[in-house]
Amino acid sequence: MTRCASDSAAAGQTETGRTFELSDEVATEALGAALAPLLARGDVLALTGDLGAGKTTLARGIVRSLGYRGTVPSPTFTLVQHYEIDPLPVAHFDLYRIGAADEIVELGFDEARAEGIVLLEWPERMGSYLPADRLQIALDYDAAGKARLARVRGPGDWAERLRALSP
Ligand SMILES: Nc1ncnc2c1ncn2[C@@H]1O[C@H](COP(=O)(O)OP(=O)(O)OP(=O)(O)O)[C@@H](O)[C@H]1O
Ligand SMILES: [Mg+2]
């Protein structure tokens, strides 16, 4: 994982961001592992990017770094996977297949956020239910289509918290 640049232009004045070049799957998981210690109960992380961009890989890095030792599969079909990690449980949603935005309520989004950390793949599918204070992690393919680029930004105190993110 290579630290690239501080990126405030795209994010606006109140949201400064960080950009990372991720040369392979290991680097994507390592970014997740580096984010994990910065997270607290109630945090919502929105992982965006095209099919196969690396959203599940990054989520796996977070879940494992928080102490979960088992398999961390894609929630493509289950829609949500719960990890009962003590003291900070994680709910990992993949909203690609939800029919309507309000299904997120039945899936237990509010309860999951009250208890721990929420990771969202395809967050745009939950429409107006998506919290404004989320950390946004955008994954893109690089020009050659092999490595990935991650842009991480969030409002409020996220900029301060992201400063602790080691390269
Ligand atoms: N930085 C990277 N460079 C190259 N390949 C990567 C990188 N990060 C992850 N991958 C690989 O990309 C593939 C897709 O990863 P992943 O399943 O995490 O994507 P996704 O965004 O969750 O996909 P989906 O949209 O289907 O949920 C995997 O084979 C993974 O190993
Ligand atoms: Mg996925």
Q: In this structure, what CATH number is given to the domain that contains residue 116?
A: 3.40.50.300
DSSP per residue, 22-54: E-SHHHHHHHHHHHGGG--TT-EEEEE-STTSS
* Distance from Cα 47 to the centre of ligand 1, integer Å: 12
33: in domain: yes
Helix (H) or strand (E) holding 106: helix 103-106
Ligand closest to CA 48: 1
167: in domain: no
DSSP 8-state secondary structure symbol assigned to residue 127: G
* Distance from Cα 146 to the centre of ligand 1, integer Å: 10
81: in domain: yes
Q: Which residues have C-beta atoms less than 6 Å from ligand 1?
A: 22, 24-25, 27-28, 49, 51-57, 74, 94, 121, 146-148
Domain that holds residue 120: 2-162
Question: Per-residue pLDDT for the chain (167 aa), expressed as one digit of tens each?
Answer: 555 544 444 444 456 689 999 999 999 999 999 999 999 999 999 999 999 999 999 999 999 999 999 999 999 999 999 999 999 999 999 999 999 999 999 999 999 999 999 999 999 999 999 999 999 999 999 988 889 999 999 999 999 999 988 76
10: in domain: yes
> How many structural domains comprise the chain?
1
91: in domain: yes
Q: Does the predicted model carry a pTM greater than 0.85?
A: yes
Provide the 3-class DSSP secondary structure of residue 137: strand
Q: By the 8 A CB rule, do 28 and 21 touch?
A: no
